Structure 1
């Protein structure tokens, strides 16, 4: 068989496959159309993306849903544009699938299609666009993210903060600190507190210390975490105070951050945490004591080798190795 004939047969076979899918996607039975979409997912060829885009217009929400999920694997302009349009679908699950597919975009060129919709006043649409832009990390996302910080919908403000955090724009720190301190929504305050972790100096210290006293424990937990990430030694005393927080999750983060700060001042309060009834706290205390590396912790750690929790004992052994190695 000649090469030309072989190519002709392959082309004919491919055309037959496309026609078969198109025929099934036009079947009156929605269940058959849905199975056709699922079969297209298994093939996963770029040439099939237009068929999936067409399926986004299907009268059946189940078919549109599967098509939206399938398009996560395609990043051509037609797919992205169709998914953006699907953000206004009448079906909630379909809208969420489109939003998730957009959030999986990896090609920065997709931002060209996303940015014009970044100021859409419909909260769900704006949240989805901002979430997709967050992953792409393009500088052009800065202005729409800044504009969204004052949006009436808390979910929009949260996504805007995430975009700014990923961009690590120092210019936005002042606004983010304001949100961390005064936004009415605790999840927005939490997101803002975490975003302060991209600071390059201690200018955010007052905001983070204030967040350690926030009424919402999730905000306090985030503040304790961020202080450790930034290794702000001036926060040591406040983190030690936080070891008495009413929520063990906050105490755990404070314990971990004290280890990252490696301050000998924290050894005594951490030794008290080493005896806490919650095993996760004992484990973190041991790990932090190992990071600090102060030999004063050795007697208590030797006793803790008999802890009833195997994870705590493992952390204790690691801490003992670290301290002995540094002696």
Structure 2
């Protein structure tokens, strides 16, 4: 006897703490439950956003309990395993789950959230793809990401589904306001050096001129105490910038409604398709960002500015900011294009997700 094909075992990080992969995993769980699938969650999330080695090793007890749970569950043959894989050494844990799933004759769906192993071939990732098997379905966040996975690792079945699809519920409530004047520059995310918070502060310092009216607004949780201390020290010399705390739900919508451009100078090597970029464009907020991961596929020249990761961020961002200040009609055009780009991407991704979800919960080819 086997369980119905509609049973899905989900392995990966779930909130808290809140970050991109955990948010997407939670959204997928919600979609599957809404489709009457029976969902079993094996949460391997660390206790905090801290990326130190000791913090990452702290996941091990959860991983071991998860493996024991998967090994001890009866009648898994033919049911689905959905796993959100890590970008670095955490793939060692993911590899163990995949090998066990193959042993239990489960159908495998691997969701990739990182570009870290798509710049060049990595041995651990190659082992992970082989362990998943030729019949596994790999889910990426863009066509470019899918192409790299096929080229570097020979993945046979790859589906590109943008994270934009998981913002459908909030986008129905989002207030899209066309920007006519550049007044407030925003930063939202987990506040950390690798997410570019200090590049944002450097940009606001460069824009602080006598008579200038530009303001900066920062929202999100601090990654650690050391980062919070450094940021608050910098803010003492930047009266034109305020920290407004972590924002979720309606408060996050209000944050986006109150800014005129999102600044996202991410230095994170694993960056793929950050949700915050989609959240900005769905509100009609143009984006200035480093072009890491899928960002150049999301932020087109019509709806923002993508800066090559090897270039200094502040000088290039200043050029775009000054261009929008001199010609507000260009800012307005970018705002309209951002909202339209998000809506188009979301429609396309929703169609692809419906087909993929049918495979996950029903075993459809």
Q: Structure 2-normalised TM-score?
A: 0.22
Larger Rg: 1
Compare the two structures and name the one with the higher helix fraction: 1
Which one scores higher on RCO, CA 8 angstroms, separation ≥ 6? 2
Compare the two structures and name the one with the higher strand fraction: 2
